[in-house]
Structure 1
Amino acid sequence: MDSEGGEHGRAASPIIGNILLVAVVIIISVVLVTVSLTFLDKTGSPSADAAFEYEQTPVGLEIRPIAMGTEAVVKLNGRRIAEVGPDSVGEPVLLPTAPGDEITVVSTDEERSVLVNQQADSRDSIGDFTSYYTFDGSGSVLSDESGNGNDGDLRGDPDWTANGLALDGSGDYVEVTDISAPVDVDEFTIAVAYRADEVKKQELVEHKSGSDNWLLELKPCDHKQVSVCTGGDGYTPVYTVDQSGGGQSGQIFGGRLEPGTQHVVVGTFDGSEYTLYVDGDKKNTSTYPGEISMGNMNIGADFEFSGDYLNGEIYELRLYYKSFDSADVVRITGAMEP
């Protein structure tokens, strides 16, 4: 019996050993996966030769590599913004950061190390916002995410969608009263991501304070004031800055667009010149000698003409108290593209 028992014992040992070996391998694999996932979720720099410094700009946070031993990708909310590496040390990358944005820098080596993972929450890590609307909500209030309390009230019967706020072109709009900003405003940038579903005269956004007035609107190509459209029917974005009380006024056009398509329109004013951009492209510039102050704002409706309601959808709106140059506008447009 001892002999038979010994033989059975020796026969069982390889099987048990194999089972134990498989179990150990599985445990090691689980540990490795867990460590890898934990490592990728870490904040900071796991590499001693990767370091960054930050600087606030009117547009948002500027990230500058001051030491790089590897190639990496800079992302904002998961969207690829730029590539950095040893050759780009000292070169800034501008991020049009808004409250709640996530900044990541991921190495492009086989380990895919996360070099930076942080959220832009504080005033010194975002742009110079007056108002910021993501149109991601519900109920009867459009929340201002800038921290300045410039919430809007929904008028008519707009519909919240998965991507924004749908306006029916017949009484739907958002009313923002008594806009406040952290500083006195004498220059600004307004940026709107939207879709217009009808060719007619309609308002994207209008601001009014006494005799100070600026607006982004859409006009049909066959409108009597429009002479810039080519290639058939459609509409053009129009950027107007005027002072009705002082007799100063002007408007510039953005070129023909098709209804049913998504666009980002940006208007900026530096205190003397105002410029219109469509999808990141500079379209026109003019001068305006008047003053600008904060007041009331309609999104999707004109103050004076009740028929100029937007028929379409708005996805995002950013109002800054600083003017932007062309490079700034390209960054803003990229961040806001629907």
Structure 2
Amino acid sequence: MKPITLRTVAEQAKVSIATVSKVVNGINKGISPETVERVQHVIQQLNYRPNRTGRQLRTQRNYIVGMAIVDDSPTFLTDPYITQLVAGLSNFLGTHNYGLLLHGIAPENFEQSFLLKESVVVALCLMLSGPNTSRRRFLDLVHASGHPMVVFQEKPRKSLTDCCFVNQDDQGGAETLALKIVSRNPQRAFILVPELQWHAIEARVKGLCRILDKYKCNYHIISSDENQRQSILDALDVALAAHGIPDVIIGTNDRLAYIAYRHLVDAGHRVPEDIGITGFNAFDTNGAQSPVLESVQSPAYALGEAGGKALLARLENGNFESSSLILPVSPVRGTTLN
């Protein structure tokens, strides 16, 4: 016998999964009394037993929140950005007696994720990668599950309800960094990006290109597998052979920038005298790695906290106070540009 799920109830009551989820959570605002009664009747008829839902959500303080990170790397948790964001989210939820169920998913396996198929969480947090069309499909799938969701580092979509997008100002930070870069009067720049697409990287590239175009600096966008050092080196060597030595190399994250720095210095180039290098994220502000990159500091930990705070307010009050939050970033002075 197949288990009775939210989808089963929704199909029999002829309503959406989101409507059933709201009814079992006691959130009836915007739903007609007749629809509420019909859904409750089907729930009783099918003997549907929601997991950590309904009235228990208002009295029980030991909830489980799901966090799905779509990344094709099996070592995604070694990425300092993801680590800090998850830490901020987990620690905030933990202080309020919520647990975090973390699930790393390769893009091609997203639709098979147990977080979508099983009612084991009261809400979902997402961090998505892949082409924009794929990310939009992932969002639609989660939205259809009826879970309230917080989406980190993704372009907001007004058409999605019961959802809060939490971002940092990647484009603004990139524009600020680019203004420092153009003070060198560069004629040519390389912009290093990961092959795997992320909205944050897209926003950074947009900010960089806006300023570089304004100041008529030629640039080339170079992609590589950021998890494979040799892939980065090979892509850089191909670009150097094709376009010559650039005046500036811009890493859209610090890992790309550090690998480029070491490769160029080993080849005899002087940084920053011959070539300026910049990064983005600035998690190594204490100088454990040398040199200290000219960079932009990301508030990844605070981003996780902000998402947790928004989600708990939603679970308590029945709706998100805001559909979009943007945290500022901070420029970091280093020794690799001027």
TM band (smaller chain): under 0.3
From the two aligned structures, give the one with the greater helix fraction: 2
TM-score, structure 2 length as denominator?
0.25
Q: Flag the structure with larger Rg.
A: 1
From the two aligned structures, give the one with the greater strand fraction: 1
TM-score, structure 1 length as denominator?
0.25
